[in-house]
Amino acid sequence: MREIPRKSDLIKKIQNLISGHESRKTVSEWAFDIYNDDSLRISDPMISNYLEMLGAVDLPSSDRNYLYTESDFREWISELNCS
């Protein structure tokens, strides 16, 4: 059975994106698999929100390669660490 990720798990995924250890597609699939798992009840709105954003990390943007940039990822880490 799958577990709901902790903030530290989300931070690790974001760090892996920045370092290139995981692809945007891999992280996106991981996040959406958890977010869309009806057997999980994600009660923490912050976890839910970041899973949703991580699910979109591979989406293109009209004015750059991707909707979210490395700068966004660093901001997300900061926000997750402060909460």
Query: CA 68 from chain center: how many Å?
Result: 11
pLDDT in tens, 10-42: 999 999 999 999 999 999 999 999 999 988 889
Other C-beta atoms within 10 Å of 41: how many?
7
**The predicted structure's pLDDT at residue 1:** 56
Rounded Cα gap, residues 26 and 62, in angstroms = 22
Residue 45 has what pLDDT?
A: 94
CA–CA dist 60, 58 (Å, integer): 6
Token duo for residue 76: 């997300």
pTM equals: 0.92
Tens-digit pLDDT profile for residues 39-68: 888 999 999 999 999 999 999 999 989 999
